[in-house]
Structure formats: C-alpha cells, structure tokens
Amino acid sequence: MSGRFRMIVGAALTLIISHGDLAAENGPQLRIGHYSTGTGLMGFVIDRMGTPIKLRFDGSDEILAVTAEPAPYNSITLKRDDGVSVLRIYETGRILVFSDKLSGGSADAYRDQEAEPLVVKKATKEQAETEAESLGRKLRGAGAPALTISLDAPRLSDDSAAWSAMADAIAVTGSTLEQMLTSPIAREIIAAKLRRVVIRDADQVDVKLADDALIVEVKAKEAVTGRPSSARLKSAIGDLL
C-alpha cells in the first residue's frame, strides 16, 4: 500500500461517520453508525472499530467484510469479496452507497442512528449442527427435495468458538440457496444436480462442486472474512451448475 493511499484511507475513514451539527456535538468522529439514503429506501450499519471494515444492510443478517481501494477525488471505495463496490467515502465525509435498487445506481447516505458493533452470533457445535439439519429441511421444502446439509470440521474441538463462524456460514449459504430456489430455472437445476451441501473448515475460502455435492470451504477461525459472501456464493454456484 502506497503512502499516498494510506493517507487517503486514513483521512476518509476519519470522516466516515457524521456531518453537520452532529459532528460538532460529538467531537471526534464516530467509528460506527447506521446510515440511510435521503429517500429512506436503503439503510446500513458500517463498523470500522477493527479490521476488517464491516457492513450490514437493513433487512439482512449477513455481515460483509469489505476492503478499501483508492478512488477518484481523494476518496476510497469499499468492495465486497466478489469485487463489487458497495460504498464510496470522500475526505469531506460524504458517503455514497451503490445498489441496483437505487435510481441511477447510487445515492448519498447520512448518519441517522447509533449502532452496535457487527459481530457474528455465538453458537455451539450442537447449535451449528441443529441449524444445518433445519436448513436442509427448509431447502427440501423449497424445491430441492433430495438436498442435505452437513458440516465437515474435524479440526474443531467441541467447545471451539469457531463453531459460531460455521453457523454463520450455514446461514449465509442457506439464504443464498433459498433465494436461488425462488427462480424456476435455478430450482430445476439445483434439484437435478445437487444432493449435498458441505460446509467445510479449510485453509482457504472457496466454493466448488464435487459430483453431486456443493463444497463451501471456510476458515472457521476467521469470522466473517473466513467465508464467502452471499453474492460470491450466488455467482460461484451459478457458474458451477
């Protein structure tokens, strides 16, 4: 990372949260908050209390880990793990959110509420296994009648905190497949080609197909960054099938 880029990132992130009177009232810029577009059509929480920067859009339980890249006019762009830009932050404190749900594809966002840090929900091994079984039943009912969900994590002890990340990976994978199953074409392909979904603890983050099994590889000891986002999963599953 160049010195210039470090300066841009530092300056832009220092000004990320707040504007106007709110900044004057609170002194140092806040590092976490909820933002909404002017029309209220889109909202999100951004959390830069640590590394990586984390983001969660309203209406979704998925926490995104985003990476910063330099952008025009001394700004930075925050991108998902599939390379798609989700936010742009300017040195002035202006925040631009990108989405195909917005007219023109983008809109300014303004801080309107405080927010809690974005953390993965805690889960035990038993809870993760129960969630996998429950997800399998839900997906079978949604149009994939032969699909089962299993966990492959022999390196994790029964009391490991990393089961929380495994449960999170189950939830993100499940919501992605549920969304895909709403499409008649995707539902037909998934029902014909998939019999198993395996959430596997590995040394890499990947999505692959092995015979009739979809293998989602996660780094269970790295919550959020250790599993693919729903966008990356949807793209990979579509390519594989």
CA gap 234, 122 in Å, rounded = 25
**pLDDT band with cut points at 50, 70 and 90 for residue 156:** very high
CA gap 145, 195 in Å, rounded = 9
Instruction: Please report, as a single letter, which amino acid is at residue 87.
Output: L
**pLDDT band with cut points at 50, 70 and 90 for residue 30:** low
Q: Output the pLDDT for position 144.
A: 94
- Per DSSP, 69 falls in state E
**pLDDT band with cut points at 50, 70 and 90 for residue 41:** confident
**pLDDT band with cut points at 50, 70 and 90 for residue 67:** very high
CA distances from 66 to 88, 134, 149 (A): 11, 29, 28
Residue 16 has pLDDT above 50, yes or no: no
